[in-house]
Structure 1
Amino acid sequence: MNASHFDIDVGGRLRELRIRHGLSQRALAKRAGVSNATVSMVEANRMSPSVSGLRQILSGIPFSLSEFFAEARPPAEQVVFRAAELKEIGGGKISYRQVGSNLEGRSLQMLHERYKPGAVSGKAMLSHQGEEAGLIIRGRMVLEVDGARYELAAGDAYFFDSRKPHAFRNVGEEDLELVSACTPPSF
């Protein structure tokens, strides 16, 4: 049995269970009918036990194989993000509320954006690797991409290569609200 095959730390998991049940390595080994060295090497991940070997060690706790691996599963990936769970990464005249707080290893970033009247995405044009798209929910925006200017209103959308210099500006009298996505995450 290979720990990486199950994508868990078998040794660390065994150590955590043993300690949780108030057993020393020696006591667990005696109860399971294995050597103290076996328990020690499995916990240090210097030895990967066979299925039957792990079952025998777990009998000293007692704990079944299915319980051992069921409890070791990582928490389920979050699929739904309620409005209150969106992470604010902006501030001031522009609000960027990101879907998901940790985008490490992700290839997509999705934002709920709000621009106050007159707000602009920055003094300098933006440019970054990837692609960008968005849908205007309400308000009016001027989008500049690679020297071309476009005015968009509620219901309009955009999609462009974000390596091209670009900027966003709220040109309306009310808040501009849009949902955008970019790959890879840019901030």
Structure 2
Amino acid sequence: MDFMDIHSLIARRVRELRDGHGLSLEALAERSGVSRSNISLIERARSSPTAAVLDKLATALGVTLASLFEAPAPSAQTPSPLSRAATQAVWTDPESGYVRRTLSPEQPSPLQLVEVHFPAGQRVAYETGARDAEIHQQIWLIEGAMEIGAGDQHWRLEPGDCVTMRLDCPVVYRNPTRKPARYLVALTTLPSSPGRRNT
């Protein structure tokens, strides 16, 4: 997907998810901490939001960040179980330059796969904590090195290392080296537990 395609896709997904939750722009702004004007620009594909902003919106909407890059299947067709490399959504964070490719097919699945290319010397911080949905992820490092902090836990990954975490606290990703890193992210979402925040 080119620049306009991916931003139009994000715009459509944010609008769909907001409408699905019955949230006004003001309500989503209050839940996410992202300004109403910024959300409006994102929904009109007039903004190039950072990874941190998209994560705040995803958290407020009760979905994974990867869900914001899902292409809707044509209404008259059954979603395909095959995802061709040429049609996979590719997005670049304008702040850090990290590139994420959505690998998963359109057909619904409890598992989402994402490939990330992380530039040398860069850092991305997701400040969000508790979520309505219970989201777990595993990160498998393919090339390079990464330092990952989730709450009070910290790891340094080398090629072949894999770490699992629940996304219920702030997470920081950092490439401390002079070479780019590449890793695979596998995410799964479990039903909300009774008593979990649901505002």
TM-score normalised by L of structure 2? 0.48
Residue 124 of structure 2 is aligned to residue 121 of structure 1? yes
> Would the aligned equivalents of 2:81 and 2:106 in 1 still touch at CA under 8 Å?
no
Residue equivalent to 2:92 = 90
> Would the aligned equivalents of 1:170 and 1:176 in 2 still touch at CA under 8 Å?
yes
Structure 2: runs of 5+ lacking an equivalent: 1-75, 191-199
5 Å-filtered alignment, 1:36-75, equals 75=77
Distance 1:135 1:162, change over 3 A: same
**CA offsets 1:120-160 (integer angstroms, 9 cap, x no match):** 223x5344441111110000000101122211011001111
> Would the aligned equivalents of 1:126 and 1:167 in 2 still touch at CA under 8 Å?
no
1:168 corresponds to which of 173, 190, 195: 173
Computing the radius of gyration from Cα coordinates, the structure with the larger value is: 1
Query: 1:138 & 1:180 partners in 2: Cα distance?
Result: 13
Query: 1:165 & 1:75 partners in 2: Cα distance?
Result: 39
Residue equivalent to 1:141 = 146
Structure 1: runs of 5+ lacking an equivalent: 1-73
> Would the aligned equivalents of 1:139 and 1:154 in 2 still touch at CA under 8 Å?
yes
**What percent of counterpart residues are identical?**
16
Corresponding residue SS for 2:86: helix
**CA offsets 1:82-141 (integer angstroms, 9 cap, x no match):** 3222201333411011124768x654332110110112223x534444111111000000
Shift in Å, 1:79: 2.2
Corresponding residue SS for 1:172: coil
Corresponding residue SS for 2:82: coil
Distance 1:115 1:156, change over 3 A: same
Query: 1:99 & 1:152 partners in 2: Cα distance?
Result: 22
